[in-house]
Structure 1
Amino acid sequence: MDTTSTVDVDAARLAGRSPHPHAVAQAPDAATRRLVLAGVVAGPLFVVAGLVQALAREGFDLSRHPLSLLSLGDRGYLQIANFIVAGVLMLAFAVGARRSLGDGPGRVWAPVLFGLYGVGLVLGGAFTADPALGFPLGTPDGYPTEWTFHGGVHAFAAPLAFLALVAVTFVVAKRLRWEGRRTAAAWSIVIGLACLVLCVPFGPAASIRLFVGVALGFAWITAYAVSLLRR
């Protein structure tokens, strides 16, 4: 923060007025910038890697099979790594967001929710889904009648991640309104509602909607991380 900004903030405080939020924002140091950058790259990496696998894996049909099933089979380790790497990047971003936000609404809950999203991704990779809908090839069609332990943890991790993602869009929207960025706040709410609808795991084209919802949520995270870097 330069000398002029510091004087303006101190004068506002002495006068009993709250300084403008941007006046008290602190420029992130190099370590914080690297942590925030993790939030920029997590989404594109996860979505592109998942889409490439969906197109390349024999027997996988994105119109029927959710991305989670890519963790199964001979090359399942690729999607397992995709989940875990994206989750670790989100955990790093959560720390970077906490160090970047300073005072104001969302400074506690936004990083917590970003972190929970990361935890859900890591769990989704470490604990694979049970075979379903004929994937991998040779497994029965339809859904399993009983869950294994791994499948049960995976089934818990998915809603944990999605709900944290939706919740953080509303928390950040409140923060953006406090910062005077009302249009960005409105878009944050719209995206959160869209993700909530798209990620409902049943109904027509559920797997495609799920993929679009994840991609949209990650795109929002990337945009928000970029906005933190630009301060």
Structure 2
Amino acid sequence: MVKRIGLLCGAVAGPLFMLVLLIQGAVRDGYDPIRHAGSSLELGSRLGWIQQANFILAGLLVIVFASALPGALREHGRRSVWGSLLVALWGVGLVGAGVFLDDPVSGYPPGTPALTVPPTPHGDLHGKISLVGFLALAVAYFVFARRFAGWGERRWARYSAVSGILFPIGFVLFVAASLQVNGLVEVGGLLQRLTVGIGWLWLTLLAIHLIRMPGGLLRAGSDRAARQQP
């Protein structure tokens, strides 16, 4: 039961997070989702708590998913302790991003400077904890790529490796945009959404992959239904 709940948490965390993020970015006054970071949705409105809750809920779902990963893998004769821990750190980074508000950046909320220098204590914590999460997920791609190669799942190994290359590139470009680098600051929000989307897509598909494996949640349910038929 715990394993099933954990895998389902991993499957829904990303789509739910991105849905809330995209809806808020589209309706918030003065907010440009192409230019402004998702974290900025925590600021500038009495509805900022929605994005805070979005970060925290998504992080908790990922942590539950990470706690179920060792058992789900072990059931199929596999193991990736480091991979599970790194995924959990991604979740911790999300929770931290929700607890500690980011500083205004790139002119949002309206009337604020392009960059807050020096950062406030909570803005500094937001950035550092988020960085830990991003770095952890970037490493997790290659840990799982190596594991999938050893398990004979070449397509998953390649997919994990490619994601592991694209994800940090996108993150570096987004950080540069946040630092107001010309030519990037105008698309900083888009760069962040594409980068986070790469991360969430991989995690979501990983959870679904484990659910669909022989003995997984969907297969187990199908087997029970078949046995109950006359």
**TM-score interval w.r.t. the shorter chain?**
0.7 to 0.9
AA matched with 1:229: I
Counterpart of 1:113, as a letter, is L
State the shift of 1:75 in Å.
1.0
Q: For residue 127 of structure 1, what is the amino acid of its counterpart?
A: F
Matching residue's letter, 2:98 = G
SS in 2 for 1:199: helix
Aligned AA for 1:175?
A: R
SS in 1 for 2:33: coil
SS at match of 2:176: coil
SS of equivalent residue, structure 1 residue 136: coil
Aligned to 2:190: 208
**In the alignment, what sits opposite 1:122?**
95
Normalised by the size of structure 2, how large is the TM-score? Answer: 0.83
Of 36, 57, 61, which aligns to 1:85? Answer: 57
Pairs aligned (count): 200
| Contact 2:97/2:130 (8 A) holds in 1 | yes
Alignment RMSD (CA, Å): 1.2
Q: Equivalents in 2 of 1:57, 1:210: separation in Å?
A: 18
Contact 2:104-2:114 at 8 Å conserved across structures: no
* Identical amino acids, percent of aligned pairs: 37
| Structure 2 unaligned residues grouped into runs of 5+ | 178-183, 214-230
Distance 2:192 2:55 in 1: 15
Q: Which residue of 2 aligns with 1:181?
A: 153
Structure 1 position 61 matched with structure 2 position 32: yes
Could you tell me how far 1:131 is from its partner in structure 2? 1.7
Alpha-carbon shift at residue 164 of structure 1 (Å): 1.1
Most deviating of 197-206 and 47-56: 197-206
Map 1:42-191; keep pairs closer than 5 Å: 42-73=13-44, 74-102=46-74, 103-105=77-79, 107-137=80-110, 139-191=111-163
The structure with the greater share of residues assigned to helix is 2
CA distance in 1, matches of 2:189, 2:105: 12
Indicate the SS of the match to 1:95: helix
Distance 1:63 1:196 in 2: 19
Deviation at 1:104, TM superposition (A): 4.2
Contact between 2:86 and 2:136, CA under 8 Å: does it hold in 1? yes
Q: 1:114-148, CA deviations, whole angstroms, 9 ceiling, x for partnerless residues? A: 110000000000001012222223x3231011211
Correspondence for 2:166 among 184, 191, 194:
194
Matched letter for residue 176 of structure 2: F
1:10-29 matches, within 5 Å, as none
Q: What displacement does 1:31 show?
A: 2.0
TM-score normalised according to structure 1 size: 0.83
Residue number in structure 2 paired with 1:32: 3
Spell out structure 1 runs of 4+ moving beyond 3 A: none
Over alpha carbons, which structure has the higher Rg?
Answer: 1
